Structure 1
Amino acid sequence: MIPNVYLQKVYAGFIGMNAGIRLGAPVEPTEWTPEMIRDVYGEVNGYLKDYKIFSADDDANGPVFFIRALLDDAVNREMEPQDVARAWLNYTREGIGMFWWGGDGISTEHTAYLNLLRGIPAPQSGSAETNGLIMAEQIGGQIFIDTWGWLFPDNPNKAADYAEIAASVAHDQNGLYGARFIAACIASAFTAKNIQEVIDEGLAEIPADSTYAKVIRAVQKVYEQYPDDFWKCREYLENEWGYDKYTGVCHIIPNAGVCALALYYGRGDLARTIEIATACGWDTDCNAGNVGSIVGTFVGIDGIPEKYRKPINDTIVTSSVSGYLNILDIPTFVKSVALLGYRLADKPAPNVLVDSYKEEEVFFDFSLPGATHGFKTSLPFKTILKANDTIGYQSPGSLEIFIDRLYEGEKSTVYYQTFYRRDEFNDEKYKPTFAPKAYSGQTVSLKLYLDKFQGAELYITPYVRNTYTKEVTELQKEKLKEKEWQEISFVIPDTNGSFVEEVGFAIESPSSLTERFFGKLFMDEFHIYGAQSYDIDFAKQAVEFLSVTPFAHHRGNWSLQNGNMVVESDTNCASFTGHYYMKDAVIRGTITPTAGAHHAILFRAQGTQKYYQVGFAGEGKVALHLQNFGLTCLKSIDYDWEIGTTYQLEVEVRGPHISARINGENVLSYTDSTWEHGMFGFALSEAGGCIIEKVEVRP
């Protein structure tokens, strides 16, 4: 039975998870003892660091991308471990992002990934028999599984089963019990009456004689003895269940103890729970993230304090191979989770949910309580942004922009950030890469409603900001009508080889100093859609987070030289960018092979293991290949090409029809419908080198 507040609870749980991750991340390394945390930060009662933009974190990467096994493979059947293993391989760039690449035999996830590449399938890839018990019981078993709890509300057994399946890719025994426990707690938190009930449901899903169950019950006993002093319990954990007894880099058992401690002593208060989890040290972002998921789901959106919610601003970044997907709007993501939950329950989703989600486009309707969808303002002194849960275009919910005493000569902007650069981040963390959420040629539309209190007219001017020049291109100024919903739409102009990093509108008024503008502006149904038409000029790109913007690289050494992108690799490699849901398009790239015999343009890429590629494929050959966890040649033709010669490769896709041209000459046509949308990029199928010049994407 799916609760009436299902979507809102998933939203609260996901924000709670990210609040915990963000709170605990600054003191995650083991050098940060509880004593050191107290010495430097005092009592933990708010975010420890004021991030410009919080970088990607493995604790969020896993929950976001591993459930895609249900979208890609286990669509109409029960999920199996290898389905999740395929998601690992498909969305992860080797050696960069997603999880900790600490070395084979050191990092559990790194080891499991290499096992999968070696041909060891899941669950053997994560078994104690394969990797040893210590490796199999590290903390990753429970930190990547939050979404499985949200997919099965009020069904802790099913949530635990799927969490175990997912965790088995890299973990075993207590690593699996941790996955089952946390997922079951989240699933039960939808309707549980108290935290003890939540914990009991979690314990019911793991063996009673397991070490994991024993540490949870041990914490409960200490809590009952010292209910007002969590430091007594933390001291007990250090003495009886500490890292000296459970070895490896980050064992699950001590951290399970901290999770239980935080749940008991937090007593259902989201803020207090994640604060305690952070103050206790050990793996702070993992523990605070897990208990944040549980308690966030339990208390709902009203139980998340503004001090933890506001800095998140409905946006996180992740570090998969898709730069487009890495810019994650939280309300949109939780809607996708809820729709998947309805599908798994074999229940029809409410029409209001179905209508508010557009997978292939940017669409924000502000229907979730307190939703801001990441919007920002350049002048918060004059334009104050907040969610309005009552006023909306067709249904309740909008972004309220309170305009405070604006007068002639002043201008403030309200915008959605569509691209990110390295200088906006405080640290490297899990090296996110980005492809824009908006492109030249696409249409932007939005609904505005003006409620004026005093002052003269109000004007808005749509604009975009160029990420290379930082210049603002303003479009047609519009005078707003009062007390009436008004649609504003515009086409994103050509960015001349660069990209748009902001899409929004400027607000102005000719009001005088004696009667400055006061009023409210409401925005709803912000929408970016349509075909893209743009170029990539590598002279206007940069190397950031180990990748050439706006690409994400999978293997190989990619760099910028003399205004071109250059790749040199001693193995096969690929590079990806573009709109993840792009379908029909013409893609051109000018390349000069410098070494090796396989140089291709790839398209309709849905990850590192799913795409088409067409190009030079051996001496005197051009071929079209299908990548589906292994390359298959679909068609090959004779074509004389030479190392050191420059060629324009072009591919046109219309539905299942694929056509390739070289220097304007038609060389190959084929029909195949395996992949219907995806990114594009470049690939070397074996060791080699290549120079890539200007790139074009056309409708």
Structure 2
Amino acid sequence: MKHVTYLALLIGLTFTSCQESEPNNLQNPDLLYADYQPKETDLPISRADYKNKLEGFWLGQCIANWTGLVTEMDKIGNIGAIKTGDFYTREDWGKPDLPSIFSENGEISKWSPTLDFVLEDQGGIWGADDDTDIEYIYQELLLANKTSILSGEQIRDGWLKHIKKEEENYLWVSNQKALDLMNEGLVPPATSAPENNPEYDMIDAQLTTEIFGFYAPARPDVAMKLSLLPIQTVARENAQLISEFNVIMYSLASSIDASKPIADNIKWMAEEARKHLPNETYSAKMYDFVKAQYQAGKTWEEARDAVYERYQVNQEDGYDMTSRNIYCNACFAAGINFAASIVSLYYGEGDLKETIKIGSLAGWDSDNPTATWGGLIGFMIGKDGVEEAFGRKFADKFNIHRTRVGFPNNGIDSIPNMAKKGIYVIDRVVQEELGGGIDLEKDLWYIPTTK
């Protein structure tokens, strides 16, 4: 894998903890750490630095999620029974929010009256949402089951324990159908099989499984193994491919060339992930189309409008959602939201605030793609980088019980603790799945870079 040699030297010589409030020698109490002799080809990664990056992931994802919720489903186009007028543009940032398709009496977002960042101050608590809560559940299940790879039964049992069966449970489309099927006795991956779940090509897995990429640093091949069944809990075909694209991006975030701008690294990561998409699929063609718009010098608004015309109006490249007459013209679909996500990824050029702005204004299910890239860039720049980008400190508490149930401390966790638990998960993955090692004294992982 390119960049590895340079990064190995850089990490091995210069990485120190950016911010660490507890001892560097974090140790998973449920893992027996084996002796390991590092190889010259191993990639050493600082666990302390990685913890700071995981804090940046959770923080960046929360900021992007809640900012994107302001515009969620405000703009989905003008086809079918629901018409929302012209899409937002850059000039709309800071202006009043408009009603979403869910507004019964013209209500605007309760999160912000204007199109602006939604931020939680120190002392406050971030609320869980569907962009963060299933990933939180998966991390807890990995720890509780003392495993790196969840079984279908473990996923089913975890969902049934932590997700309400009735009343408001913050699930939609394929996630909700999968839960219904679990309650009927089905076990993943049967819960996403097209003959069982007609929503298998909706957006769900794209926003619930990216974190598995972080669990296999610099090794997307292993990240794909870890994430396969969680993805296939709710997704198949293009929806599965798109989710795997995101997992690959997250894994590759540990393989970047630190001497290059973040924008260049993100483009490299995206091109590597694109190789996973078969050329004949609409997901591959959507990626290529947006990239071509970017390279041609089109504005992000022009690229987004071209995506709408090509895929929802003209139904090109095999994307036939409009003709299927799905509610809101399939505004929850994997495809159209993937195309919108590539717009914000390319045009955001690695800038956290710009990427969140574009993602929020792009349309459709705007909180989901925005949270994905907010989390990715948050990881790449770390918690300190997120704070620097906004010039402020943020709340570090997280309330998983806003949307889920069955966790200790009445559902109140902290972002530093969530990151620490991520380190514990990775320790097991490094040792049991990657065949690498952990040096607790030097606080390093040694990641084999060859399969």
Partner-residue secondary structure (3-state), 2:117: coil
- Which residue does the alignment assign to 1:91? 162
- Is 1:12 matched up with 2:56? yes
**Residues of 2 paired with 1:201 and 1:326: CA distance?**
38
Q: CA deviation at 1:148?
A: 0.7
Amino acid at match of 1:80: S
- Which residue does the alignment assign to 1:150? 214
Counterpart contact for 1:145–1:179, Cα < 8 Å: yes
**Structure 1 pair 325–172 and aligned structure 2 pair: CA distance change class (3 A):** farther
Single out whichever of 110-119 and 12-21 deviates more from structure 2: 12-21
- Is 1:233 matched up with 2:303? yes
**Structure 1 pair 129–151 and aligned structure 2 pair: CA distance change class (3 A):** same
Selected match of 1:124 from 187, 190, 200: 190
Partner-residue secondary structure (3-state), 1:58: coil
**Structure 1 pair 179–348 and aligned structure 2 pair: CA distance change class (3 A):** same
**Structure 1 pair 349–129 and aligned structure 2 pair: CA distance change class (3 A):** farther
**Residues of 2 paired with 1:22 and 1:140: CA distance?**
17
The 4+ residue runs of structure 1 with deviation greater than 6 A are: 49-52
- Which residue does the alignment assign to 1:219? 290
Q: CA deviation at 1:212?
A: 1.4
Cα deviations by residue, 1:481-515 (Å, 9 ceiling, x for unpaired): xxxxxxxxxxxxxxxxxxxxxxxxxxxxxxxxxxx
- Which residue does the alignment assign to 1:114? 180
Partner-residue secondary structure (3-state), 2:398: strand
**Residues of 2 paired with 1:38 and 1:98: CA distance?**
35
Counterpart contact for 2:120–2:395, Cα < 8 Å: no
Instruction: Describe how 1:271-310 pairs up with structure 2 within 5 A.
Output: 271-306=353-388, 308=390, 310=392
**Structure 1 pair 220–207 and aligned structure 2 pair: CA distance change class (3 A):** same
Cα deviations by residue, 1:413-447 (Å, 9 ceiling, x for unpaired): xxxxxxxxxxxxxxxxxxxxxxxxxxxxxxxxxxx
- Which residue does the alignment assign to 2:417? 332
**Structure 1 pair 24–152 and aligned structure 2 pair: CA distance change class (3 A):** same
Partner-residue secondary structure (3-state), 1:6: helix
- Is 1:81 matched up with 2:152? yes
- Is 1:348 matched up with 2:430? no
**Residues of 2 paired with 1:17 and 1:190: CA distance?**
18
| Greater fraction of residues in helix | 2
Q: TM-score, normalised by structure 2?
A: 0.69
Q: CA deviation at 1:162?
A: 2.4
**Structure 1 pair 308–136 and aligned structure 2 pair: CA distance change class (3 A):** farther
- The count of residues paired between Structure 1 and Structure 2 equals 345
- Which residue does the alignment assign to 1:572? none
**Residues of 2 paired with 1:234 and 1:77: CA distance?**
38
Q: CA deviation at 1:79?
A: 3.2
Q: CA deviation at 1:263?
A: 1.2
- Is 1:160 matched up with 2:202? no
**Structure 1 pair 306–45 and aligned structure 2 pair: CA distance change class (3 A):** farther
Amino acid at match of 2:308: E
Unpaired segments ≥5 residues, structure 1: 355-699
**Structure 1 pair 292–223 and aligned structure 2 pair: CA distance change class (3 A):** same
Partner-residue secondary structure (3-state), 2:413: strand
Counterpart contact for 1:226–1:232, Cα < 8 Å: no
Counting aligned pairs with the same residue, the percent is: 19
Q: CA deviation at 1:8?
A: 2.1
Higher alpha-carbon Rg: 1
Q: CA deviation at 1:64?
A: 0.6
- Is 1:321 matched up with 2:415? no
**Residues of 1 paired with 2:50 and 2:389: CA distance?**
24
Single out whichever of 11-20 and 44-53 deviates more from structure 2: 44-53
Amino acid at match of 2:420: K
Selected match of 1:3 from 23, 32, 45: 45
**Residues of 1 paired with 2:120 and 2:150: CA distance?**
40
**Structure 1 pair 148–99 and aligned structure 2 pair: CA distance change class (3 A):** farther
Amino acid at match of 2:220: P
Cα deviations by residue, 1:337-387 (Å, 9 ceiling, x for unpaired): 012101111133636979xxxxxxxxxxxxxxxxxxxxxxxxxxxxxxxxx
Q: CA deviation at 1:14?
A: 2.0
Amino acid at match of 1:70: L
Counterpart contact for 2:239–2:334, Cα < 8 Å: yes
Counterpart contact for 1:149–1:185, Cα < 8 Å: yes
**Residues of 1 paired with 2:207 and 2:126: CA distance?**
18
Q: CA deviation at 1:76?
A: 4.6
Counterpart contact for 2:331–2:364, Cα < 8 Å: no
Q: CA deviation at 1:160?
A: 2.6
- Which residue does the alignment assign to 1:630? none
Instruction: Describe how 1:570-581 pairs up with structure 2 within 5 A.
Output: none
Q: CA deviation at 1:55?
A: 3.4
**Structure 1 pair 223–345 and aligned structure 2 pair: CA distance change class (3 A):** same
**Structure 1 pair 122–309 and aligned structure 2 pair: CA distance change class (3 A):** farther
Counterpart contact for 1:61–1:98, Cα < 8 Å: no
Counterpart contact for 2:192–2:234, Cα < 8 Å: yes
- Which residue does the alignment assign to 1:24? 68
Q: CA deviation at 1:325?
A: 5.8
**Residues of 2 paired with 1:201 and 1:182: CA distance?**
11
**Structure 1 pair 85–283 and aligned structure 2 pair: CA distance change class (3 A):** same
- Which residue does the alignment assign to 1:41? 94
Q: TM-score, normalised by structure 1?
A: 0.46
Cα deviations by residue, 1:48-79 (Å, 9 ceiling, x for unpaired): 58797553311110111123332233x35643
**Structure 1 pair 219–35 and aligned structure 2 pair: CA distance change class (3 A):** same
Amino acid at match of 2:191: S
Partner-residue secondary structure (3-state), 2:70: helix
Instruction: Describe how 1:295-694 pairs up with structure 2 within 5 A.
Output: 295-306=377-388, 308=390, 310=392, 312-319=394-401, 320-322=404-406, 324=409, 326-346=411-431, 347-348=437-438, 350=440
| Greater fraction of residues in strand | 1
Cα deviations by residue, 1:257-307 (Å, 9 ceiling, x for unpaired): 111111111111111111111111211111110011222223333432447
**Structure 1 pair 254–309 and aligned structure 2 pair: CA distance change class (3 A):** farther
**Structure 1 pair 325–241 and aligned structure 2 pair: CA distance change class (3 A):** farther
**Residues of 1 paired with 2:415 and 2:426: CA distance?**
16
**Residues of 1 paired with 2:352 and 2:93: CA distance?**
23
Amino acid at match of 1:92: I
CA RMSD of the aligned region, Å? 2.9
- Which residue does the alignment assign to 1:438? none
Q: CA deviation at 1:129?
A: 2.1
Amino acid at match of 1:35: Y
**Structure 1 pair 345–117 and aligned structure 2 pair: CA distance change class (3 A):** same
Q: Taking CA–CA contacts closer than 8 Å with sequence separation of 6 or more, which of the two structures ends up with the larger relative contact order?
A: 2
**Residues of 2 paired with 1:2 and 1:339: CA distance?**
17
